[in-house]
Amino acid sequence: MTVDMSRLLLIKMSSLGDIVHALPTLYAIRKNWPQAHITWAVHEQFKELLPGKPWLDEVIYIDKKQLKKPSYLWHLRKELHKRHFTSCLDLQCLAKSALVAMLSGAPVKYGYWELREGSSLIEKPLVGSHQYDHVIERYLDAVRALGGQVEGIHFPLPVHKEAKESLAHLLISKGYIAGSPYVVLAPGARWILKEWPPLYFAELAKRIMDTKRFVFLIGSLEDTDKSRLIEEHVQSPYLINLSGHTSLAQLIELIKGAAFYISADTGPLHIANAANIPLIGLYGTTSPKRTGPYGGAHVHVIVSPTSKATPESPLVDDPLCMQQIDVNRVWYLYQTCVNELGM
């Protein structure tokens, strides 16, 4: 297939983990078309996930709340047409992303194979051999279908120097001893049924801190109650609650510096994977074969014994599923990994 990739619009507007999953596709596009001018369309709250040059030339912010307003659509159309895109690749494949593709002015508009919510009326699916494999491979199939080569899984993460410096001051102000190894725990998730119980995290944190290792709790403002509950049950100077206290840029730099990371299927887990941080992902109501951490020996996954999630049916409505992952099982795997790493 011959496609003019000289001015490409890449669409992946949300969410945190999904954008991380799309970064290997950006890497592969840049490697195959090094002279391309690549623009990424994203919701502004996720902008700090995206790397700058040489990977990306430009970022366009799409206001989700305005997408139903004719005046905003007209303005967006004008802004997109100014850029004279030669092609568009939608890795979201929903109605909202297809609308952006339609307004782009690109003469050819593609999506990966799973076109949903009517996006097939606007975009052509790029189908490969990984239709029911991990989402990263599904996205990369688009590169393969366009004639590109995929050599491994690579995540071009951004570098936030100022955020790293401000984070260091924040951690010291909360009692952290600079240079000490730390473990990151994320008790929350966007979908509550994906969450491992907070009191399980509390027990795990106690055991980790008994080894004189710092534990950082991370999350959004919506996760503060869970983190506070863990704090109340642990009460240790080695526990630092950062839920709701970091920017996305600071969160990225925090995870990059971790000795270990543990959480359920949530966005920060995928940042840890992208940064090659040793990790344990806890799964049950979602399928790790579809959205699990992917691409390296640093990845360890525990699946609930009652999980029924599959790549074909990746979301399971089971409120008790994650409770079946025993703390002892996670602790044993953590200890095994730590011993193997010589930590």
pLDDT in tens, 69-92: 999 999 999 999 999 999 999 999
- pLDDT of 114 strictly over 90: no
Give domain status of residue 153, yes or no: no
Strand partners, 184: 216, 261
Give domain status of residue 151, yes or no: no
Domain boundary among 145, 179, 211: 145
pLDDT in tens, 132-152: 899 999 999 999 999 999 999
Identify whether residues 118 and 212 lie together within a single domain: no
Identify whether residues 276 and 336 lie together within a single domain: yes
CATH of the domain at 63: 3.40.50.2000
Give domain status of residue 155, yes or no: no
pLDDT of residue 179: 96
pLDDT in tens, 22-67: 999 999 999 999 999 999 999 999 999 999 999 999 999 999 999 9
pLDDT cut 70: percent of the chain above it: 100
Q: Which residue has tokens 């307004």?
A: 103
At CA 62, angle to CA 27 and CA 291, rounded to 5? 45
Give domain status of residue 251, yes or no: yes
Give domain status of residue 150, yes or no: no
Domain boundary among 121, 145, 169: 145
pLDDT of residue 314: 87
The model carries a pTM of 0.96
d(CA 140, CA 29): 9
**DSSP designation for 58:** E
d(CA 176, CA 199): 23
Q: Which residue has tokens 């640093």?
A: 298
Identify whether residues 289 and 191 lie together within a single domain: yes
Q: What average pLDDT does the structure give for the chain?
A: 96
Structural domain boundaries, residue 171: 161-341
Token digits of residue 143: 């590169």
pLDDT in tens, 302-318: 999 999 999 888 889 99
Domain boundary among 99, 118, 145: 145
Identify whether residues 125 and 235 lie together within a single domain: no
d(CA 51, CA 157): 6
d(CA 143, CA 4): 13
Identify whether residues 207 and 256 lie together within a single domain: yes
pLDDT in tens, 238-283: 999 999 999 999 999 999 999 999 999 999 999 999 999 999 999 9
Give domain status of residue 210, yes or no: yes
Identify whether residues 168 and 280 lie together within a single domain: yes
Identify whether residues 222 and 318 lie together within a single domain: yes
Give the contacts of 157 (CB within 8 A, at least 6 positions apart).
Answer: 23, 51, 252, 256, 271, 274, 275
- pLDDT of 113 strictly over 90: no
What is the pLDDT averaged over residues 186-192? Answer: 92
Residue 319: pLDDT band (50, 70, 90) is very high
Question: Phi and psi of 198, rounded to 5°?
Answer: -55, -40
Identify whether residues 47 and 116 lie together within a single domain: yes
**How many domains is the chain built from?**
2
Identify whether residues 48 and 137 lie together within a single domain: yes
What is the pLDDT averaged over residues 106-134? Answer: 92
Amino acid identity of residue 261, one-letter, is Y
